[in-house]
Amino acid sequence: MSSPLSFSSAWLFTMIMAAVAHAGFPEDPTFKQDVQPLLKTYCVRCHNANEMESGVRVDHLDGTFPDRNLALWKGIRRQLVSESMPPEDEIQPTAQQRKLFADWIEQSLAEALSRKRDNNGTIRRLTVSQYRNTLADLLGLKEDLTGVLPPDGLSKDGFANNGQTLLLSPLLVESYFDIAEKALNLCIVDESTPPVIQTFRMDLGQAINKEPCPDELILGANSLLLANQDFVVTELKPKKSFEFVPFSMQKEFRFIEGYQGNDTVRGWRDFHGIYHAVFACMRGNEGYPKGKAYETVAEGLLLRPAIPSAELFGVESTYGPRANFKVSLRELPDHGNFRVIVKAARYNDGLLLDPGAASQPANSDGAITVDGLNRPQTVTIERPGIYQADVYLNSIEEPIVDPDGQSVAKPQSLALTIGDRGFSGTLNQPAFLVVRLPAGALPIEARYGGDATPARIVFTPLDADQTVSQRFAAFEKRSPLLGVHLGLRRDCGSTLNQVGKAQEVTGGEISEYVFEGAINNFPSPDQTTNFNYLTGFHEIGVRSEFTDGRDMPRLLIRSVEFEGPFYDQWPPATHRGILIESDNQDNPEAYASEVIEAFASRAFRRPVTGEEQATLLDIWRASFDQTQDFQQSIKDALLVVLTSPQFLFLIEASSGPEDELLDPYELASKLSYFLWNSAPDDRLLELAATDSLHESLDIEISRMIADSRFQQFIEQFASQWLQLDKFDVVEIDRSRYPTLTRDTRTHLRQESARTLNYLIQQNLPLRHLVQSDLILANDVVASYYGLGDKTESGFEFVPVEHGDANLGGILSQASILAGLSDGRESNPVKRGAWLARKIIAEPPDDPPPNVPQISDEDPTLTLREKLEVHRNQKGCVNCHSGIDPWGLPFEVFDAGGLFKHDVNVDASSTLPDKTEVRDLNELKAYFADDRLDRVAFSFLKHLTSYATGRTLSFYETAQLEEQALALRLHDYRMQDLIRFVVQSDMFLKK
Amino acid sequence: MTLTKLDRRAVLKGIAGASLALPVLDAMGDDIAEQVPRRFCALYTANGMSLPKSEHGIDEWNFFPQIEGKDFVFGKSTEPLSPFRQQVSFLGGLHHPNGSKADPHICSDMWLTGAPLHNPKPGQFNSVGLDQVIAKHTKQFCRQPSLVLSIDAGVGFLSRTGTISYDTEGRPIPAENNPRRVFDRLFQGDRASLLSQRETIRRRIKLVDAVLDNTRRLNQRLGKSDRQKMDEYLASLSEIESRLIASEKWADIPLKQQDHSHLNLDATNEGEPHEYYRNMFDLIALAFDADITRSVTFMLNREDGMGISDTFPLKLGLTRTHHNLSHAGDKEGQLQFAKYDRFLAEQLAHFFGRLQEYQDRDGSVLDNSIVMFGSGASTTHYPKNLPTLIAGGANMGLKHGVHWRSGDTRMSNVHLSILHSMGIEENSFADSTGVLQDSIFSHV
């Protein structure tokens, strides 16, 4: 458990490391004469080898400044200058003594920092995410096999790719072998055996099945299946350019356990037919706020946006979203990629009006009244356009809801058919629907509350400038987002993962939407033997994705088709990528040599050396001699490639302590693992081969930033620099922050990364990080901030001019503010410490041992008062003077990351340099105007540390701070900062 | 573990040539032979155990003894265990904090894992269970990492699980439920599959060897680079190689000679419950005695009326099914539920007897095994005060003969205490906050 005060900083660690005195540096005579006596008099009594008060000892210091002692000396100086030590109740040095001591340290530090470091290259292993990306790029395998790897630890700077923290263990190395073996077995196939491929399609539509399943289908509690006649399942045989065996699903079953009423039943029973293997299921949370969640019509299944549960369990039922369509089935392939093709369209929909909507005035110009609705009627529309349909229940103008809002009669559902379109929903008042009507004759039918009919319906044409027509116009332009999900059915819900991204369904005509994935990346029921009718189900969910609840035309699903394993050629590309075309295929040894050379050179990210090639070929030969199995022996050799340090490690070999330029291949790898978090592509390797990468760096950086793989950098860097993992784990108090649901969080989580990406892609000034007119938002994020009316972008993040004085920049992003809370109360200490570390790179010291928790203080005090009490305790003031002033301005934002709108909030603060700020906006302005150099330095320091995979030395940090000032001339543009890092000695030299 | 006593290549040569002399274990080196087996067995019963309402006046049928501490008196439902008074303890007040947040039927899914099943990571369901953490550490010493048993075969389905064992990725491990299949797998190990398994291991050893060679050669070319990472890699490779060599040898080491005549391998879960449980427990005891595995889970019955065990009370002459009895509020129903607990306690007593009968080098198998018996609910669907009984493990510092409770205690802290008792120094387990203090675990 980390207490709110357990801050880490570089120097406590270094102090512990400093326990052994370092030899080899010249001693300074001033030390013996002037400084050592002071240490002995004022410090050593508490800070010696035995006492080590606060974990610090100084008795061993000999006046030299080896690297490992630098932080300790820095710390001592800080204690002296701030007069924090010696403690008040101890004898104190004179002001003169303090000054002498502090000046001497400062001078010695400056000398020490200007020393040149030894540079002995680096060897670090790939992080889990680098390994995953590299394996995927190398093999073309979609299946992720790296789930077994333990997550990487984080360095003090917060980065997972720091060579010092990337540990190795037998367990990890064993996993590398297992993964390599699995991967090669998946890539290389027996080409002489035709693959078995499962293909089927479920067609949907009212009464389209002329031979429906005669049995009453039940699939457990609340199974909510579509009517048997509303769907058809057909097994298909697709056209392929190669021979294959179509998979036939099991259709004869014998089960002993089943379901009836609210109980399980036992007894063997036989079941027959495909409809006991594949079900069309709508089980989900019940009730839909507006209209019916789903409806089958002649053309297919209509779906409203699938409103997710706030949490998976607990808050609502566990059955999943509302409008939760799934194909539930017993069998899916156990390996390979799959493809789901959904035929879908945007429904030509009408807008259901909300409770309280007004009817159009009677006898409006052009209004058409339809009565006699106890039988079908036809109206003729002369003027095509937007109409409002007001529905009256009886001939008297009687409202369903009286003027006080009291229900006169419980509103019932109205089903209105206009032409071949259906609209149903609760009739709260006469104003029911806004809809676009074409010219010509239109059949009209209506049913109210089952069998009754309304007295009349009035269709009133709307002017374009009416509010309600504008709402309809916006509604009409929206496109439902089609999402496919795959996983398993639980008896109390489903565990599904989304397949790729949701796709916008823009057209009114039925079109095909293709979704692809690797089947084993998705949850599966793990069923072996099964005698229970209800168990072992896979599910393919097809949804209209919910964004923020804005009205959306319904999604029409015509059919859902599955094919898997999906191959576009045989043997598949993964196989051909390894067992390459060659004239030598008849000569095992020559062919093996070619295969190995090509593979190892790609895997090692440089040409394989003669020695390595010989070793690998030996492995192949030994295996081949023993087994006479070419594929097996090739797999053996390639497995060694995939478990060798040349593949698993990023190696910058050094021939001595002096600086050397990276060799071109080392540079290619360093660059690509920095900007892509994966291996260099062919172009980078070609440039390395011709030794022209160094001079092409500028062009290559531009190319790499524009490449889609750059997002892999953005995700990693944003997440680790800004500590977004805190937001992943914080438990939000749902009663206080009801809109901060599980789904909303996944969108807010992306805001920081999208912002960073946008600033870099547009090469905007760094100032936008702390102060900006823009936020990057999709509909969900915009809506969370109350800016829902400013976006129409679905799930896509777009720049939004927020026009809100309290937004803009990462400091006011919900993912950060909520992540730095306990889910209930805002926390200025967490926020302040985060800002000090991440934004201005002035990390606070670690707390001394045995500091009382802030929560232990008097509960009647306000937080600000508690902080003051806490801060005034001995041992606390020093750290907190570098934390609290940064955290207090954030108090205008609550633990959900939203502006408090509370005039009583006191967010004023006196910053360490005595600047007064009243709130976060003034703090942002302070950074943007007065301290931008510091913010830029902090960003660069973190970026360089990430780019080089190591913690920077004091020397490098000092150099960086000085050199970075040159970038100010061009407003610290984001791409300039990246180029600066790549062109620095820290990056280019080893 | 490292194999310092015997040269690896000598071992390989020995295996390739004539079979090794017995006892092979002793020849393999002291670190294996002298390693005292430390075993774990988890026994789960669903739907809670008998905690009758006080108004019925049948408190003597409560699973938990009426008195805490050393002077407790066995209740009637656990009385069959009284001969083992000095080898068992009752633990009260235990709960999984995540239990009350999730669907109550998934308490058996989380019994050994403590996972936040109410809000799992996307696409994930469970997390690793105690038995599999133990198996990870003990597998190098025995033939099979773990043995996963259940009343119904397979995994059931999520939230009505048919197994209580979850692997390192939180995936359910399918259970075996047929005594003959279990016996064949454990003791008959067909020659062909053993040989093919050994072939796989040998291939892996060769490849690890090749990577070692390659790594050493690369290391020599690295000039003055900082080699710390390379050294770590080489050390890891060597460690893996030693472990593989240890696994490989099992194919050639004959199983311990045991008397199997008491087994009735025709018993099935469709027959007499008593006969079925007796044989399953005998198989576990034999597997422990022969050191075939050191981690066992056995799910005695399933939640919510799932599976065949729901009918066992009927077969024993009681009037309702197990799930229905667990919901009973009336005196007769609660009494019947308690009587079924007594039936289970009788089976357990038989099992403990077997474990006590079999001898290790230093005491009985029971002294070297920690057996945890319990349920994920106290009364039906109530995830607090989980009925828990722990037996054995005297040689791992367990001090028994006590009814222990200390307010509300996290189940994961018990799990962590078991790990530490077994010498597995994990820092935490699931949502644990530390080990149990002043409890039956003295080596934590």
Q: What are the residue ranges spanned by the domains of chain B?
A: 39-178+268-421, 189-261
Q: H or E segment at A720?
A: helix A710-721
Residue A565 has pLDDT above 50, yes or no: yes
Instruction: Judge whether B225 is closer than 8 Å to chain A, CB to CB.
Output: yes
Instruction: Kindly list the residues from chain B whose CB atom is less than 8 angstroms away from the CB atom of residue A534.
Output: 157
Nearest neighbour of B123 by CB, restricted to A314, A491, A522: A522
If one counts every other C-beta atom within 10 angstroms of the C-beta of residue A402, the result is 10
Q: Residue B201: which of A634, A178, A896, A448 has the closest Cα?
A: A178
Q: Is the previous residue joined to A571 through a cis bond, with omega within 30 degrees of 0?
A: yes
- Interacting residues of A129 by C-beta distance below 8 A, sequence separation 6+: A160, A677, A712, A716
Q: Nearest-CA residue of chain A relative to B171?
A: A526
Whole-angstrom distance, CA of residue A355 vs CA of residue A363: 23
Between positions 126 and 185 of B, the ones with CB within 8 A of A are: 136, 153-160, 168-169, 171-172, 174
Provide the strand spans (E) within B50-120.
Answer: 88-95
- Confidence band, pLDDT 50/70/90 cuts, at residue A118: confident
Instruction: Kindly list the residues from chain A whose CB atom is less than 8 angstroms away from the CB atom of residue B155.
Output: 525-528
**Rounded average pLDDT over A785-794:** 95
Instruction: Judge whether A640 is closer than 8 Å to chain B, CB to CB.
Output: yes
**Rounded average pLDDT over A173-177:** 91
- Mutate which of B1, B109, B229, B231 to disrupt the A interface (most A C-beta within 10 Å)? B229
Whole-angstrom distance, CA of residue A8 vs CA of residue A15: 12
Counting Cβ atoms within 10 Å, is residue A804 exposed (0-12), middle (13-18) or buried (19+)?
middle
- Per the CB < 8 Å rule, is B225 touching A318? no
- Per the CB < 8 Å rule, is B103 touching A318? yes
What CATH topology corresponds to B39-178+268-421? Answer: Alkaline Phosphatase, subunit A (3.40.720)
Please report the pLDDT score of residue A854 as a whole number.
61
- Confidence band, pLDDT 50/70/90 cuts, at residue A205: very high
Instruction: Kindly list the residues from chain A whose CB atom is less than 8 angstroms away from the CB atom of residue B158.
Output: 488, 490-491, 495, 525
Whole-angstrom distance, CA of residue B5 vs CA of residue A460: 95
Instruction: Judge whether A120 is closer than 8 Å to chain B, CB to CB.
Output: yes
**Rounded average pLDDT over A556-564:** 98
- Interacting residues of A135 by C-beta distance below 8 A, sequence separation 6+: A141, A145, A146, A179, A183, A642
Please report the pLDDT score of residue A9 as a whole number.
39
- Amino acid at position A677, single letter: N
- Confidence band, pLDDT 50/70/90 cuts, at residue A483: very high
- Confidence band, pLDDT 50/70/90 cuts, at residue A853: low
Helix (H, G, I), strand (E, B) or coil at A559: strand
Q: Best-predicted range by mean pLDDT among A135-149, A255-269, A753-767, B93-107? A: A753-767
How many A/B residue pairs have CB atoms within 8 Å?
178
Mean pLDDT of chain A: 89
Between positions 29 and 48 of B, the ones with CB within 8 A of A are: none
Residue B135 has pLDDT above 60, yes or no: yes
Instruction: Judge whether A123 is closer than 8 Å to chain B, CB to CB.
Output: yes
If one counts every other C-beta atom within 10 angstroms of the C-beta of residue B97, the result is 16
Q: Is the previous residue joined to A170 through a cis bond, with omega within 30 degrees of 0?
A: no
Q: H or E segment at A272?
A: strand A263-272
Helix A682-689 vs helix A664-675: crossing angle, to nearest 10: 160
B232 or B396: whose pLDDT is higher? B396
Q: pLDDT tens, B64-99?
A: 999 999 999 999 999 999 999 999 999 999 999 988
Residue B280's alpha-carbon distances to A603, B155, B158, B276, B283, in angstroms, are 50, 18, 24, 6, 5
Please report the pLDDT score of residue A314 as a whole number.
52
- Confidence band, pLDDT 50/70/90 cuts, at residue A708: very high
Please report the pLDDT score of residue A63 as a whole number.
79
Hey, what are A155's tokens? 């360095």
- Per the CB < 8 Å rule, is B233 touching A525? no
Residue A485 has pLDDT above 90, yes or no: yes
Mean pLDDT of chain B: 86
- Confidence band, pLDDT 50/70/90 cuts, at residue B26: very low
Residue B102's alpha-carbon distances to A629, B107, B110, B121, B303, in angstroms, are 52, 8, 10, 14, 14
Q: Residue A906: which of A867, A946, A957, A857 has the closest Cα?
A: A867
Q: Nearest-CA residue of chain B relative to A644?
A: B211
- Amino acid at position B312, single letter: F
Provide the strand spans (E) within A120-210.
Answer: 122-125, 196-204
B26 or A264: whose pLDDT is higher? A264
Whole-angstrom distance, CA of residue A669 vs CA of residue A987: 12
Please report the pLDDT score of residue A25 as a whole number.
53
Instruction: Find residue A459's DSSP bridge partners.
Output: A368, A389
Instruction: Judge whether A264 is closer than 8 Å to chain B, CB to CB.
Output: yes
**Rounded average pLDDT over A246-264:** 82
- Per the CB < 8 Å rule, is A742 touching B171? no
Nearest neighbour of B239 by CB, restricted to A170, A534, A655: A170
Residue A319 has pLDDT above 60, yes or no: yes
- Confidence band, pLDDT 50/70/90 cuts, at residue A20: very low
Q: pLDDT tens, A394-424?
A: 755 455 555 555 556 678 899 999 999 999 9
Q: Residue B298: which of B165, B155, B142 has the closest Cα?
A: B165
Between positions 374 and 433 of B, the ones with CB within 8 A of A are: 433
- Mutate which of A144, A161, A328, A619 to disrupt the B interface (most B C-beta within 10 Å)? A619
- Confidence band, pLDDT 50/70/90 cuts, at residue B350: very high
Please report the pLDDT score of residue B34 as a whole number.
54
Q: Best-predicted range by mean pLDDT among A620-634, B14-28, B190-204? A: A620-634
Please report the pLDDT score of residue B14 as a whole number.
34
- Confidence band, pLDDT 50/70/90 cuts, at residue B5: very low
Instruction: Kindly list the residues from chain B whose CB atom is less than 8 angstroms away from the CB atom of residue A491.
Output: 105, 157-160
> Is ipTM strictly over 0.95?
no
A345 or A70: whose pLDDT is higher? A345
Residue A666 has pLDDT above 50, yes or no: yes
| Angle (CA) A137 A140 A144, round 5° | 85
Please report the pLDDT score of residue B23 as a whole number.
37
Between positions 448 and 487 of A, the ones with CB within 8 A of B are: 487
Q: pLDDT tens, A893-942?
A: 999 999 998 888 899 999 988 999 999 999 999 999 999 999 999 999 99
- The Cα of A528 is separated from the nearest Cα of chain B by a number of Å equal to 6
- Confidence band, pLDDT 50/70/90 cuts, at residue B238: confident
Whole-angstrom distance, CA of residue A344 vs CA of residue B331: 59
Instruction: Find residue A401's DSSP bridge partners.
Output: A407
Q: H or E segment at B148?
A: strand B147-150
Whole-angstrom distance, CA of residue B332 vs CA of residue B339: 10
- Per the CB < 8 Å rule, is B119 touching A490? no
Instruction: Kindly list the residues from chain A whose CB atom is less than 8 angstroms away from the CB atom of residue B101.
Output: 313-314
In angstroms, how far is the first alpha carbon of chain A from the final one?
Answer: 38
Q: Best-predicted range by mean pLDDT among A158-172, A781-795, B255-269? A: A781-795
Please report the pLDDT score of residue A3 as a whole number.
40
Counting Cβ atoms within 10 Å, is residue B362 exposed (0-12), middle (13-18) or buried (19+)?
exposed
Q: pLDDT tens, B156-187?
A: 776 678 899 998 878 888 888 889 989 988 88
